[in-house]
Amino acid sequence: MDLSNINPALLVAALMVASVPILLAAIGEMVVEKAGVLNLGVEGMMIMGAVCGFAVALTTGSPVIGFVGAAVGGMVLSLVFALLTQVFLTNQVATGLALTLFGLGLSALIGQGYQGLKPPPTVKLDLGPLGDIPFLGQAIFNHDWIVYFSLAITVAVWAFLKFSRAGLVLRAVGENHDAAHALGYKVALIRTAAIAFGGACAGMGGAYISLVRVPQWVDGMTAGAGWIALAIVVFGSWRPGYVLLGAYLFGGVTVLQLNLQVAGLAIPVEYLSMSPYVITIAVLVAISATRRGTSLAAPGSLGRIFHASR
Amino acid sequence: MNLKSLLSGLAVASVMATGAMAEATKAGFIYVGPVGDFGWSYEHNQGRLAVEEALGDKVETTFVESVPEGADAERVMTQMALGGADIIFTTSFGYMDPTINVAKKFPNVKFEHATGYKRADNVSTYGARFYEGRAVIGHIAGKMTETNKIGYIASFPIPEVIRGINSAYLHAKKVNPDVEMKIVWVFTWFDPAKEADAAQALIDQGVDVLMQHTDSTAPMGKAEEAGILAFGQASDMTAFGPNAHLTSIIDDWGPYYVQRVKAVMDGTWSSTDTWDGIAPGMVAFADMSDKIPADVQAEAMQMIEDIKSGAYHPFTGPINKQDGSVYLADGEVGSDFDGDNALVGMSFYVEGIEGDIPN
């Protein structure tokens, strides 16, 4: 075993990169759930984002436009979900699951012509003197823009939900949609907007895999990241800070266990492989439990169908 | 994913049903990954296309991709068999038990299972001696590495993968006594993001030559990005790392598939076990990169020739196991099937490799 081969700065850098797709998808889904909608189609929206982002980036030659395309792709798919659940009042769980299956199939179809191609590279930002700081420069200030974007959007969501009036309305809709409706808020409209935001975030998360992390298009390449994001929202008790922690913990332990394997740590590989899941859940449950019960954190109307006639 | 394979399974069944009037022999293929993985499943699909090309109207082929190993596989096979398939190729190690189970229910359908060891009257097995290819790339890797660290992304701890690691290590070590093999187990055949992360972890710890026994091209892409060298797996992966790519081990299933489907047509099919290597062309190589110095290329070519002619066997003693006990005595050659140490069941590292094999 030779742990001295593990460079902590590179480890932190790899951790931040590995966490981006899950963080983006989870923060989007958190807003959706805060509005009282349970969208289990995160995986489907991510994979749609991955393929749309890839196709757009390849066509335009610009990874930035690619990410915009990914957001649009994820949003369009999420609006299908919004139409079904908010207008036709279908069951959210079933519709969400169907959305994932549909997204996987549709993305494979769209991606037919894009297999084996290389997207334009997403360059790392040059942050000038910040990049020269020892350790921190290499670990934190040596990334592409989307890494910082994912952090910024987390902070923005936190501020929006905590301090803005619109955020308060959104939370009200999620806590008690009948009361919100009685106050004159348009429940279905607000929820549709939240769903669209969640779709856009998931789409960009997926595109990060196809445009930066791998970077190629292959069928089914998100490989379950959407489900991890969903779990992190729940175990992070619908708090942006905990969601960020959960995503970084999951990405961090994933990267760490691979590095420990390379370094030859004398822990059986089976345990290392399961460690990201176990540790993330254990830590999030532990910190949530020390506060009020987790059940209190769930939005009151989560997953319930709303109709104005009641 | 389940629905997707279900739907494609249904599509297969209906395609076969509508084609039932024709006299064509029907061959079905089941792949573990997408045909667009540009690795393992891609090459099996190339084999299928070779069957179509060689036998034309006399054959009808169908395939289902991304079939998970397990109960799902059994369902897809059953649907193919019900749909009138005459021969079904199940192309991943994990399809072994499902293949045997389904074969029992359809005694008139021929099954061909890749890389497994369980056979029946209507189940053949076939595999390629990838360890012969691994020996050659191990030799090149030992010569090319400057940090003396070779990275190996391993999928599942099955004999096939362990043989490859041992073979590559032995031949790297032979030309470079200081070489270290860094192995990462990812427990998947195909997960581009995970393979990329594993590659990144290896690169971060100083590996400068990368090998993979997983199916996506993601590690090759990472190697290109990091400016290190890498070997492709199953298919020619030059396009994914023009600067990183040294050569690839290519699986060429076409001739075997054509031969087996023909045997079904002629009624001469019988249950066999095929394990072919470089000599019959089942294991081939992509063009070697200019980065490999001419003398190393010549040595590699010589090794390929020697393996082809039978003059050299990659597992030739003296070789010790990881614990120091003797695996092969001086001059002894590894046996395919006989004894506890048979190549088909290899479940130990050779001396010098660090770490344990997961269970």
CATH assignment of A3-297?
Answer: 1.10.3470
Mean pLDDT by 10 residues, chain B (359 residues): 52 48 82 84 93 92 90 92 94 93 94 91 93 95 95 92 95 95 90 90 93 91 92 88 92 93 93 90 91 94 93 92 91 84 89 86
Domain boundaries, chain B: 2-128+253-276, 130-243+283-345
Residue A125 forms contact with B (CB below 8 Å): no
Q: Does the predicted interface ipTM exceed a cut of 0.85?
A: no
Please tell me the distance in Å from A160's CA to the nearest CA on chain B: 32
Partner-chain contact B192 A223, CB within 8 Å: yes
| pLDDT tens figures, A137-172 | 888 888 999 999 999 999 999 999 999 999 999 999
Domain boundaries, chain A: 3-297
| pLDDT tens figures, A11-33 | 899 899 999 999 999 999 999 99
| The pLDDT value given to residue B35 | 84
> 3-state SS string over chain B?
CHHHHHHHHHHHHHHHHHHHHCCCEEEEEECCCCHHHCCHHHHHHHHHHHHHHHHHHHEEEEEECCCCCCHHHHHHHHHHHHCCCCEEEECCHHHHHHHHHHHHHCCCCEEEEECCCCCECCEEEEEECHHHHHHHHHHHHHHHCCCCEEEEEECCCCHHHHHHHHHHHHHHHHHCCCCEEEEEECCCCCCHHHHHHHHHHHHHCCCCEEEECCCCCHHHHHHHHHCCEEEEEECCCHHHCCCCEEEEEEECCHHHHHHHHHHHHHCCCCCCEEEECCCCCCEEECCCCCCCCHHHHHHHHHHHHHHHHCCCCCCECCEEECCCCEEECCCCECCCCCCCCCHHHCCCCECCCCCCCCC
Architecture of domain B130-243+283-345: 3-Layer(aba) Sandwich (3.40)
Residues of A in contact with B215 (CB under 8 A): none
Please tell me the distance in Å from B202's CA to the nearest CA on chain A: 6
Residues of A in contact with B191 (CB under 8 A): 223
Tell me the pTM. 0.83
Percent of chain A with pLDDT over 70: 96
CATH assignment of B2-128+253-276?
Answer: 3.40.50.2300
| pLDDT tens figures, A51-105 | 999 999 999 999 999 999 999 999 999 999 999 999 999 999 999 999 999 999 9
Please tell me the distance in Å from B200's CA to the nearest CA on chain A: 8
The residue of chain B nearest to residue A114, with distances taken between CA atoms, is: B36
| The pLDDT value given to residue B238 | 87
Quick check: A222 pLDDT over 60? Answer: yes
| The pLDDT value given to residue B20 | 45
